[in-house]
Chains A and B, each alone.
Chain A
Amino acid sequence: MKKRTITLIVNGETFELTVVPNELLLNVLRDRLHLTGTKYGCGVGECGSCTVLLNGKATLACMTLVVSVDGKEITTVEGLGRYDALHPLQQAFLDHSAVQCGFCTPGVLVTAKALLDENPHPSEEEIRQYLRGNLCRCTGYTSIVRAIEAVSKEAGF
């Protein structure tokens, strides 16, 4: 396989990487950039644990060839906000106990961000439809929906 050099802009930081065609974005993020917030959950695009934003759009990193995103901007959960400057969604997830085991949380947060970027004041139904691809086995989703609604009702959204 031919190696090639690509550029990724991940959470605002530019990385130049030499990659082969069968490298998946998920594994590059986790293993090479050490951004382990994004998770492997099923590998076939059915659980949403690996969701990242690709040029602002929710994308499944487990099914994305890294060569195909050369030059693009990627946002992972680490890019939403850090411990000392949480994104309102991150804060709301804490406030509403929307986190249990936390394994789905990064993918859910990133998807929720895409939702609010697209539709700042979604209805409960719109939230549920937008997040239907992010499986969570712990919470039953109720607290997650509440947390997103709370953010959408805050000023600035």
Chain B
Amino acid sequence: MLSDTKILPGEFEYFQPQTLTDALALLAQWGSRAKVLAGGTDLIVKMKRLLVEPECLVSVQDLPELHGIRQEQLDGQPADEVAGGASLRRGGFETRPPDSAWQHALVIGAATPLSLVEKDPLVRLHYSALYEALRSMAAIAARNMGSIGGNLANASPAADTAPPLIVLDAVLRLASARGGRTAPVETFFRGPGFSLLDVDELIVEILLPPPRPQEGSAFLKLGRVSCDISKINAAAWFQREGGLCLDCRIAFGSVAPMPLRTPALENLLVGAEIGERLLHQVSSQAGAAIFPIDDVRSSSQYRRQVAPVLLEEALRTAWIRTGGVL
């Protein structure tokens, strides 16, 4: 019961480094006393509420590496190896087909505002789930400020960009003064507010795999009103061959301590002939595949009730986007 959101009460030093090297040096120097300032839509609120009281803010607004969207050639190397980081840990399951080494990637600077990512024609064309998630998020002003990397780094279980990036198999390039590494978005989250990021580390870029033929994705969300954090969200991605599901990924937000991929559901679809009935059957098991809680936005029961509805709609839309029929 102690806050004053009219002001930013804490005192701190502010740095606006011009190079990534300088930024990483500052983070190394200040360690846990520093916070990275991107759009500020989460961090400033936390500071106003005295939930965090950093002694130093390192702004990433002038770092060119963290801004903009571009295509990058990867010469057939898997993204993680190109980035020179640790090998990808896939949490005990491997869904990427062996021949999927990326030729190139769509690289999104982590500090790119959500609204700019949303406006990118390639994102809209090839990464439907991400596009739909971005459009569903917050108010326009908050999307102009908030960055895609910030949405992830905040590690909220409700982060709307997380499930789409998980199903789209996106990979993060992280950097600290100690070096760089990569991590699939799927492995990035560790719990509410916790991620793989070390205190001295930044998300530099988000890599999206090259568009593949006969793939499709979709994202759906329920909030209390149109402008809200998700009560629950769901993202689905399919790769199709004829009437068969070649590959599939499903993820939910706001149903577990972190954004949640549900391999058990995917396994029911991979290799199967896709039809209305199967999608319904698989979706109907969604309630059992998630771990929701009661909170201020909704209830555990409700989330279990609507998870199948969201999932079925996401699966249907994603499948149709592959060119498949139902």
> Closest CB-CB distance, A63 to chain B, in whole Å?
4
Contacts A45-B41, A60-B141, A111-B140 given; indicate if A132 touches B227 (C-beta within 8 A).
Answer: yes
Whether B139 lies near A133 (C-beta < 8 A) is yes
Q: Residue of A at shortest CB range from B16? A: A68
Whether A129 lies near B13 (C-beta < 8 A) is no
Is A130 among interface residues, defined by CB-CB distance under 8 A? Answer: yes
Interface residues on B, range: 20 to 34
> Closest CB-CB distance, A92 to chain B, in whole Å?
20
A residues in contact with B5, CB < 8 Å: 42-44, 62
A132 to B150, alpha carbons, bound, how many Å?
22
Name the one of B16, B48, B61 contacting A44, with C-beta atoms under 8 angstroms: B48
Is B37 among interface residues, defined by CB-CB distance under 8 A? Answer: yes
B residues in contact with A40, CB < 8 Å: 6
> Closest CB-CB distance, A51 to chain B, in whole Å?
5
**Docked complex: A39-81 residues within 8 A CB-CB of B:** 40, 42-45, 48, 51, 54, 57-60, 62-65, 67-68
Interface of B is mostly: loop
Whether A22 lies near B12 (C-beta < 8 A) is yes
A113 to B141, alpha carbons, bound, how many Å?
12
Whether B139 lies near A63 (C-beta < 8 A) is no
Whether B14 lies near A65 (C-beta < 8 A) is yes
B residues in contact with A23, CB < 8 Å: 8
Is B45 among interface residues, defined by CB-CB distance under 8 A? Answer: yes
Q: Residue of B at shortest CB range from A130? A: B140
Is B10 among interface residues, defined by CB-CB distance under 8 A? Answer: yes
Contacts A1-B11, A43-B6, A51-B141 given; indicate if A67 touches B48 (C-beta within 8 A).
Answer: no
Whether B11 lies near A22 (C-beta < 8 A) is yes
A residues in contact with B11, CB < 8 Å: 1, 20-22
**Proximity string of chain B (51-68) to chain A, C-beta cutoff 8 Å, 1 when within and 0 when not:** 000000101010000000
Name the one of B8, B139, B225, B227 contacting A22, with C-beta atoms under 8 angstroms: B8
A residues in contact with B13, CB < 8 Å: 1-2, 21
Is B44 among interface residues, defined by CB-CB distance under 8 A? Answer: yes
> Closest CB-CB distance, A78 to chain B, in whole Å?
18
Whether A60 lies near B12 (C-beta < 8 A) is no
Is B142 among interface residues, defined by CB-CB distance under 8 A? Answer: yes
**Proximity string of chain A (102-137) to chain B, C-beta cutoff 8 Å, 1 when within and 0 when not:** 000000000100110000000000000110111000
Q: Residue of B at shortest CB range from A63? A: B44
**Docked complex: B123-140 residues within 8 A CB-CB of A:** 138-140
Is A27 among interface residues, defined by CB-CB distance under 8 A? Answer: yes
A111 to B14, alpha carbons, bound, how many Å?
29
Is B84 among interface residues, defined by CB-CB distance under 8 A? Answer: no
A63 to B143, alpha carbons, bound, how many Å?
13
**Docked complex: B1-40 residues within 8 A CB-CB of A:** 5-14, 16, 37, 40
Whether B16 lies near A132 (C-beta < 8 A) is no
A52 to B44, alpha carbons, bound, how many Å?
17
> Closest CB-CB distance, B30 to chain A, in whole Å?
14
Whether B141 lies near A48 (C-beta < 8 A) is yes
Q: Residue of B at shortest CB range from A24? A: B8
A residues in contact with B8, CB < 8 Å: 22-24, 65
Whether B40 lies near A133 (C-beta < 8 A) is no
A80 to B37, alpha carbons, bound, how many Å?
30
A88 to B44, alpha carbons, bound, how many Å?
34
Whether A133 lies near B140 (C-beta < 8 A) is yes
A residues in contact with B74, CB < 8 Å: none
Is B144 among interface residues, defined by CB-CB distance under 8 A? Answer: yes
A45 to B229, alpha carbons, bound, how many Å?
13
Q: Residue of A at shortest CB range from B10? A: A22
Is B145 among interface residues, defined by CB-CB distance under 8 A? Answer: yes
B residues in contact with A20, CB < 8 Å: 11
Q: Top 8 nearest A-B pairs by Cβ distance?
A: A133-B139, A43-B5, A21-B14, A58-B141, A132-B227, A22-B8, A63-B44, A57-B144
7 CB < 8 A contacts A-B: A21-B13, A22-B12, A44-B48, A44-B49, A57-B115, A67-B16, A68-B16
Residues of A within 8 A of B (CB): 1-2, 20-24, 27, 40, 42-45, 48, 51, 54, 57-60, 62-65, 67-68, 111, 114-115, 129-130, 132-134
Given contact pairs A23-B8, A45-B44, a sample of 9 additional A-B residue pairs in the complex whose CB atoms are under 8 Å apart: A21-B57, A44-B45, A45-B45, A60-B141, A64-B44, A65-B8, A65-B57, A133-B140, A133-B142
